[in-house]
Structure 1
Amino acid sequence: MTAEEATLSTLQRSAELHARARELTPGGVHSNVRLNAPSVFFERGAGAWLWDVDGRDYVDYLLGQGPNFLGHAPTRVNEAVAAEARRGSVFGAQHVLENEAGELFLDTIGWAERVRFGATGTESDQAALRLARAATGRQKFVRFAGTYHGWLDNVLVKTVDGVTGPGSRGQLAHHVADSYVLPFNDVAALDATLSAHDDIAAVIVEPVMVNNGVIPPVDGFLKHVRRLCDRHGVVLIFDEVVTGFRVALGGAAERYRVRPDLAVYGKAMAGGWPVSAVAGSAELMDLFAGDVVHAGTFNGSVPACAAVIATLGILREDPPYARLEEYGATLMETIVEVGRAHGLPLRVQGLPMAFHVSFGDPALVRDYTGLAVLDLDRYTRFSHTLADHGIWVAGRGIWYVSAAHGEKEMAATRERLYSAAADAAADKVIAKASV
């Protein structure tokens, strides 16, 4: 029996559930991000581990696309949510936890004066852009190729050979024209664009371009962006949906010592529960108290606020960031070591808390076009091999590290990486022999 046949034989229940799912929902998934993932159905998660319905375990570096920063099912968070949910979930009015969550949130990030809670990063990004347009009276915004700010028509774009267009069929194509799309880390391009156009309300940026390649800002880039926005009266929005509370307790604003006008948060802020936030200066945020509309039935719900309070309490009382730096750095080195041992050109780039793995030249990639020289398709295939060997990762190359990863997980990861790499190297030899 081949390794592939053995894997299929041990995933019988997953295969059956996947077949049924395809009858119930398009592609068998409820988010297009999962379309090309291995057809595994999970039963439970705890800490840094997942267990599928066929009894196999996985060291998890996907972490639900990032939200499980504390690991799966953190006891303190879940107990807090359960306790408060027994008293109600949505009142259509204020409740006592809102102030507590808001005070803790603002004190933790350290720079903002107001916060509004939401449910998704996509909606909070839109709220921030609306505030910027209202404050400036301008219509357009600058964003950077490869960054992700949600799936709605005005922010979902695809850049091919330098040409930007809609990222999906069915989009209103003219909405893509709401933005000027520039190369990440290119201060000169931003300077020229802001100087040439007087219709720009905002610059929105992932401070670290995590969603594509985990590309860090080059030295001084974010500070230059801040200065240019000040010079031209443009609102600077940090999309910290991924970086917030992950790269530092105060997010990228703290790590890179740059204060935005507005910032959007999600993922790591609520221990796996669906909560987002937009935060910023009182001058901008208080526009929501007037005729700038931001609404949502589940915004600031009781479970959401309980999750925020418990999660931020954990992160403040026992900050995991030094441990994450050490674990992530060791893991990045291990991946390169494993690739070298098996003749695989594995490359790693990013921060210890979130980094990108692919095949190709180890030189630093500075912007979205640089990803084109990497063999991303080969890595996607390798991610399936990793899943076969009990390591769960994203097919697009992002590895997330959680506060729950430790010595046990590192030992298991190292052993499974070597095994997966041996299979990948053998497949390469077989492919060459068959040519």
Structure 2
Amino acid sequence: MAGSVQASMAERMARVVPGGVNSNVRLEVADRFVARGLGARIWDVDGNDYVDYVLGQGPAFLGHAHPRILARVQAEIAHGMTFGAQSEVELLAAEALIDALGWAEMVRIGMTSTETVQAAFRLARTRTGRPLFLRFRGQYHGWLDNVLISPAEPTPAPASRGQLPEALDQSITIEWNDVASLRGTLDRHGDRIAAVITEPMMLNAGAILPEAGFLETIRAECSARGILLILDETITGFRLGPRGAVGRFGVVPDLAIYGKAVAGGFPASVLAGSAELMSEFASGTNHSGTFNANVLACAAIVAAMEVMADGEVHATVEATGSDLMDQIRSLLSERDLPVQVRGLPAAFHLSYDDDLPVRNYADLLRGDAARYGRLVHAARDHGLWLTGRGIWYVSAAHDRTTTADTLERLARAIAVAETGAVRA
């Protein structure tokens, strides 16, 4: 990297932006600068190309620079971006979302899922009059004080300097896929719990599926105890299918949060629910934001819903992702490497681990994160854009060509990473 355009940019960036990044998630790639993306590939400012399985941490589900998304956005923003009143494309976006989801009656459109989670919490407190939230270890619901927790600890603990520990007094955290713990916690604290919030599938960490009946049990327990069920579909929404995890697993929440794939790579988030519940926002429960439902976001949502409407996108991702997972398993098996490949074709996880099941975050900690980190570092140097936490996102733009390129580049990266591991 010495003498490269990227090295120069990284040096300049570090002088004007803390850590050289505008999101701490990017600290692991502070030395990398992307010039452009198209489909399933990105190119850095030095001209190196990468097959991309980060997809901007998930949003580019349709691929980078999708022509229909760009065309609709460009046409709409030519007339302005935000007006302090409603726009037609805002109405079209809301209608398209409700039609696509199939279960929700009303939506509110925001900018980020971090803020939309807070809107869902406020609505849950309004409805129940209760202060607490039950959540699951290893799941991420934003970076604000009351939700950012250290997954290394089994009980809620701050994950950042400067974070108010008392803000976490609102949270009770248990392990995923643990029905006994769920029921025991609800028995002890249920009369003070406003909502259970969960990813319907753990995708931020581990690509861990819900065990048979687990989501159904959460739904039944919430209904019986007057507790709201909030599904955080920031990652799963529109990625696991045209109706997200609700369509895939058949469990309908009281509220759901959507982000990332909802707008084809553009910044937008959505809170969805019943008309009876969502109407609280018009009756004294505040939800505000200058850039909520701006023209850019809403145009992107409308176009994304159109592109995904017929199901072909998801069929393509299922086929491509399934083949990719199988071929990666074969490659790893040939080299006798103890790596698990688990999850769904649209988003799967790799970790150096034994063959025991991974049911929750505690199980995920078994993996050799340092060894996987060496592989990721080598992969980036060989043209694979991967994230260090093990998740691989597949887009509608990935195909047989990208799979072939991936396997060839991954094989070379493994050779370097494993040789380095032996030397160390």
Measured against the shorter chain, the TM-score band is: over 0.9
Correspondence list, 1:127-206, <5 A: 127-197=119-189, 198-206=191-199
The aligned counterpart of 2:57 is 65
**1:407 matches 2:400:** yes
Which consecutive segments of 4 or more residues in structure 1 shift more than 6 A? none
Aligned to 1:5: none
Aligned-partner SS, 2:56: helix
How far 1:281 sits from its partner (Å)? 0.9
Q: Letter of the aligned partner of 2:284 in structure 1?
A: D
- 2:5 — aligned with what? 13
Could you tell me which of 286, 291, 294 is aligned with 2:284? 291
Aligned twin of 1:227 = 220
Give the TM-score normalised by the residue count of structure 2. 0.98
RMSD (Å), alpha carbons = 1.2
Does 1:387 pair with 2:409? Answer: no
- Tell me how far apart the structure 2 counterparts of residues 40 and 67 of structure 1 sit (CA, whole Å): 19
Partner of 1:344: 337
After TM superposition, the structure 1 = structure 2 runs for residues 76-95 of structure 1, keeping only pairs within 5 Å, are 76-95=68-87
Contact 1:344 1:425 (8 Å CA) reproduced: no
Check conservation: 1:342, 1:425, Cα contact below 8 A: no
How far the C-alpha of 1:318 sits from its partner, in A, is: 5.1
In structure 2, what is the Cα distance between the partners aligned to 1:245 and 1:161?
31
* Alpha-carbon contact 1:342-1:421 (below 8 Å) kept: no
Give CA deviations for 1:81-134 in whole Å, capped at 9, x if unaligned.
Answer: 011001111000011112111111001010011000000010011100110000
CA distance in 1, matches of 2:48, 2:406: 15
Comparing 54-63 with 320-329, which one deviates more in the overlay?
A: 320-329
Tell me what 1:109 maps to: 101
Tell me the TM-score normalized by structure 1. Answer: 0.95
Question: Does 1:96 pair with 2:88?
Answer: yes
Partners of 1:126 and 1:381 lie apart in 2 by 36
In 1, Cα distance between equivalents of 2:35 and 2:169: 43
Instruction: Give 3-state SS (helix, strand or coil) of 1:90's partner.
Output: coil
Q: 2: distance between equivalents of 1:380 and 1:211?
A: 17
1:69 CA displacement: 0.4
| TM-superposed deviation, 1:409 | 0.5
**What whole-Å deviation, never above 9, does each CA across 1:367-420 have from its counterpart, x for those lacking one?**
010011111122122111100110001111110000000111111111111111
State the Cα deviation string for residues 262-321 of structure 1 (Å, max 9, x = none). 000000010110000000011210000011000001111111111000011000035312
Q: Distance in 1 between matches of 2:227 and 2:370?
A: 38
Higher mean alpha-carbon deviation, 317-326 vs 18-27, is at 317-326
- Distance of 2:337 and 2:179 partners within structure 1: 35
> Unaligned regions of 5+ residues in structure 1, if any?
1-7
* Alignment partners' CA distance in 1, 2:254 and 2:46: 48
SS of equivalent to 1:64: coil
What secondary structure sits across from 1:344 in the alignment? Answer: coil
Once the two structures are superposed, the pairs formed by residues 325-344 of structure 1 within 5 Å of their partners are 325-344=318-337
Letter in 1 for 2:71: E
CA shift at 1:187, angstroms?
1.4
* Matches of 1:390 and 1:233, distance apart in 2: 51
1:249–1:319 CA contact under 8 A, matched in 2: no
Q: Does the Cα contact within 8 Å between 1:38 and 1:384 map onto a contact in 2?
A: no
Give deviations 1:120-170, integer Å, cap 9, x for gaps: 010011100110000000000100000110000110011435243111111
Q: Given the superposition, is the C-alpha separation of residues 172 and 388 from structure 1 closer, same or farther in structure 2, using an over 3 Å criterion?
A: same
Would you say how many aligned residue pairs link Structure 1 and Structure 2?
Answer: 423
